[in-house]
């Protein structure tokens, strides 16, 4: 495939293990810029990105947030918390944060870095949710929500996975009406 964007989308995979190599500031800036340029409803741009490079903070996140991806948070030289302001965009903040997360994941892959999308958003905003714990650890105000954490680094392993056939997920004009 010759189109760089489509090739990046097709080849990107989650990286769960990372080399201890520090991330170059220029590469980090490219990833963050990709998040900044994500689409948002009515161009509200309701996001903020918290770059976490402190080992103790990452350890605290791992101790308070129960996820099988804790090793990713520990090993990655940098983690990015994708946060959105619910007052700036009350109707679409989840999609806006997801778009920023995806842009950053694609940008990371395109420059030789790996990441995995750790979704932490709690739809019911439960008191004991991972999102609430993350908000406490990172001092995030109440009106802000955390959509995801992106561990970022040089992947230790190359992951390959296949996708379902497009025809098996494609309908024409209405749900269940298959195009042959």
Query: Cα separation of 178 and 33, whole Å?
Result: 39
DSSP 108-159: HHHTT-EE--EE---TT--TTSHHHHHHHHTT--TTEEEEEEEEEE-BSS--
Q: Is residue 174 part of a domain?
A: no
CB 173 within 8 A of CB 131: no
Pick from 25, 52, 65, 32: nearest CA to 151: 52
pLDDT digits (tens, 9 = 90+) for 111-160: 999 998 888 887 776 666 788 889 999 999 999 999 999 999 999 877 66
Q: Is residue 46 part of a domain?
A: yes
pLDDT digits (tens, 9 = 90+) for 92-102: 999 999 999 99
Q: Is residue 98 part of a domain?
A: yes
For 110-135, b where at least 16 C-beta lie within 10 A, e where not — what string? beebbbbbbbbbbeeeeeebbbbbbb
Residue 8: what pLDDT? 61
Q: Is residue 180 part of a domain?
A: no
- What is the tally of structural domains in the chain? 1
pLDDT digits (tens, 9 = 90+) for 51-89: 999 999 999 988 876 666 788 889 999 999 999 999 998
The domain that holds 89 is classified in CATH as 3.40.109.10
Query: Which pTM does this prediction carry?
Result: 0.86
Enclosing domain of residue 134: 4-169
Q: Is residue 92 part of a domain?
A: yes
Residue 122: what pLDDT? 77
Pick from 71, 79, 70, 87: nearest CA to 49: 79
Q: Is residue 121 part of a domain?
A: yes
Q: Is 8 exposed, middle or buried (0-12, 13-18, 19+ CB in 10 A)?
A: middle
Q: How far is CA 62 from the centre of its chain?
A: 17
Q: Is residue 178 part of a domain?
A: no
Q: Is residue 38 part of a domain?
A: yes
CB 155 within 8 A of CB 105: no
């Amino acid at each position: 495939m010759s189109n760089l964007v489509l090739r990046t989308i097709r080849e990107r995979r989650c990286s769960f293990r990372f080399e201890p190599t520090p991330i170059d500031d220029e590469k980090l800036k490219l990833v963050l810029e990709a998040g900044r340029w994500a689409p948002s409803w009515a161009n509200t741009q309701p996001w903020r990105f918290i770059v976490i490079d402190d080992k103790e903070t990452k350890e605290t996140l791992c101790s308070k947030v129960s996820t099988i991806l804790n090793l990713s948070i520990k090993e990655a030289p940098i983690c990015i918390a994708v946060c959105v302001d619910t007052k700036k965009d009350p109707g679409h903040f989840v999609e806006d944060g997801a778009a920023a997360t995806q842009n950053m994941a694609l940008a990371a892959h395109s420059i030789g870095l790996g990441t995995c999308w750790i979704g932490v958003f709690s739809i019911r905003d439960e008191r004991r949710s991972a999102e609430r714990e993350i908000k406490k650890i990172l001092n995030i105000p109440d009106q802000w929500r955390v959509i995801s954490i992106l561990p970022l680094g040089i992947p230790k392993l190359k992951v390959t996975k296949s996708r379902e056939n497009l025809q098996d997920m494609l309908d024409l004009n209405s749900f269940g009406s298959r195009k042959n």
